[in-house]
Amino acid sequence: MRQIKEDAKKIIHSSIQRVLPDSAVKRALEGKTFLGKVIVIAIGKAAWNMANSAEEILGNRIEKGIVLTKYHHAQGDIKGFSILEASHPLPDENTILGTEKIIDAVSNLSSEDTVIFLVSGGGSALFEKPAGNLDLKDFLQITDELLKCGADIVEINTVRKHLSAVKGGKFAALCAPAQVYTIALSDILGDRPDSIASGPTCADRSTCEEAFAIVEKYGLTLSGEMKKQLSVETPKEVPNSTMLITGSVKELCFAAAAEAKALGYAPLILSTFVDCEAKEAGRFLASIGKTIQQEGFPLKGPCAIICGGETVVKITGPGKGGRNQELALSAAASIAGMEDIVIGAVGSDGTDGPTDAAGGLVDGQTKVILDGAGIAIDDVLAQNDSNRALAIANALVVTGPTGTNVNDLYFLLCK
Ligand SMILES: Nc1ncnc2c1ncn2[C@@H]1O[C@H](COP(=O)(O)OP(=O)(O)OP(=O)(O)O)[C@@H](O)[C@H]1O
Ligand SMILES: O=C(O)[C@H](O)CO
């Protein structure tokens, strides 16, 4: 059992290392020529790594650079860059201050100048200036409601784009007449460009009508000013902007499969679009493990079933946890007592919900340990308290900020 867990840890570590954005950003910039001034703006959880790679390629060509990332995600100074940090997943004053500095840096440019925009997931919370007369308080309220209601990220961002002065293509308009070249690391299933960090430089495909439908679907609270801003349509064309997507959950799954194979497990990538409730995904993955061990298909052990995605959680309790921890804990209930099986769920960014863990790694003993401690998994899930339970069962995965952000990896290893 110990070996299979060690193998699972290697798969987590190696797959995340292989999807760091560094070499992809370098490839995207190598050999490119820019006429006028070059301003580099990097936002999101992977902003520091992306900016650092841009600096290695462009060096003194960069007139000004700004990184705006999550607290504790910057890894030091980068020559020519201001390094700013702010709160995630809920914005704070530093979000708005940082965003204003970025707007200043791209104001008064000419049509010969270029803004290189390096964008990664987390950018929606980190890069924000409220539209119209909205303020930070309004954003805290609506973001909190959106994150707790069970809406998926495309829905969440449809609402945020209409309330923001920089999302949904509006940042590209602020850069005009300069050209904007966006290099994006995708944490959106299917890589819809205008949803990645709410598409600050993309023509927005979402509409006011869709935003109001989401408000109604989840019963969100709107002030008068929010209703007014939600009725203002986002740009449907951004002629000064081009975009390249350099990485996504697909690469994370391929990397996990390669490492599993190297460790002697026959890999099968089952889905890169898992978007159901976290606890349902956990039970489903466990059911595949049972099928393998009892029926011998779709693979015979040793094998690895690999999925990527972003599940949702409807927060109903006061506990502490995250999507991946909830998935892993739910899987633990279903594989209780089984041998030679582990199930892992991790966020590639290294943070799962408002916790210090990246996710969970469980086996047949996890529930046994929790039973022994008098902890019932169903109660924990009802309280959304997966972090505490997995800590007690020694089943947390802790990586710290990884420097990348391409959704979540779910896998099972079976012998
Ligand atoms: N107690 C909890 N249990 C389970 N999930 C939680 C809990 N508290 C918050 N969450 C979930 O955590 C998510 C936010 O945290 P996280 O940073 O992991 O999201 P993210 O998708 O990586 O963010 P981004 O897309 O902006 O990079 C929300 O979807 C929220 O539903
Ligand atoms: O920041 C965001 O909006 C999410 O991470 C999706 O990119």
Tell me, yes or no, whether 86 and 107 share the same domain.
Answer: yes
Tell me, yes or no, whether 113 lies in a domain. Answer: yes
What is the C-alpha separation between 83 and 266, in angstroms, rounded?
Answer: 43
Tell me, yes or no, whether 238 and 254 share the same domain.
Answer: no
What is the C-alpha separation between 47 and 57, in angstroms, rounded?
Answer: 16
User: Which residue stretches of the chain have pLDDT < 50?
Assistant: none
Tell me, yes or no, whether 63 and 120 share the same domain.
Answer: yes
3-state DSSP helix/strand/coil percent for the chain, to nearest 5?
Answer: 40, 20, 40
Query: Domain boundary residue among 247, 279, 310?
Result: 247
Residues 6+ apart with CB under 8 A from 378: 333
What is the C-alpha separation between 143 and 91, in angstroms, rounded?
Answer: 9
What is the C-alpha separation between 55 and 40, in angstroms, rounded?
Answer: 9
Tell me, yes or no, whether 266 and 321 share the same domain.
Answer: yes
**What's residue 2's pLDDT?**
80
Query: Domain boundary residue among 247, 263, 283?
Result: 247
Tell me, yes or no, whether 357 lies in a domain. Answer: yes
**CATH of residue 351:** 3.40.1480.10
Tell me, yes or no, whether 242 and 291 share the same domain.
Answer: no
Query: Domain boundary residue among 200, 218, 247?
Result: 247
State which residues form the domain around 255.
2-16+250-414
Tell me, yes or no, whether 10 and 84 share the same domain.
Answer: no
Which residue bears the tokens 């633990």? 332
pLDDT digits (tens, 9 = 90+) for 227-239: 999 999 999 999 9
Tell me, yes or no, whether 239 and 271 share the same domain.
Answer: no
Tell me, yes or no, whether 358 and 394 share the same domain.
Answer: yes
Tell me, yes or no, whether 92 and 232 share the same domain.
Answer: yes
CA 225 to ligand 1 center in whole angstroms: 27
Tell me, yes or no, whether 289 and 208 share the same domain.
Answer: no
Tell me, yes or no, whether 25 lies in a domain. Answer: no
**What's residue 301's pLDDT?**
87
CA 287 to ligand 2 center in whole angstroms: 30
Q: Which of 88, 118, 153 to mutate to test the pocket of ligand 2 (most atoms within 8 A of CB)?
A: 153
Question: Ligand 1: does its nearest atom lie under 6 Å from the Cβ of 315?
Answer: yes
What is the C-alpha separation between 237 and 254, in angstroms, rounded?
Answer: 34
**What's residue 69's pLDDT?**
98
Q: Minimum-distance ligand to the CA of 43?
A: 2
ipTM of the complex: 0.96
Tell me, yes or no, whether 262 and 226 share the same domain.
Answer: no
Task: Tell me the one-letter amino acid at 282.
Answer: G
- CA separation, residue 69 to residues 48, 83, 159, 198, 320 (Å): 7, 8, 22, 15, 23
What is the C-alpha separation between 175 and 201, in angstroms, rounded?
Answer: 9
Question: Ligand 1: does its nearest atom lie under 6 Å from the Cβ of 326?
Answer: yes
Q: What's the number of domains the chain is made of?
A: 2
**CATH of residue 81:** 3.40.50.10180
Torsion angle of C-alpha atoms 187, 191, 196, 198, degrees rounded to 10: -140
**What's residue 1's pLDDT?**
61
Tell me, yes or no, whether 223 lies in a domain. Answer: yes
Tell me, yes or no, whether 240 and 370 share the same domain.
Answer: no
Contact by Cβ (8 Å): 380, 319: yes
Tell me, yes or no, whether 80 lies in a domain. Answer: yes
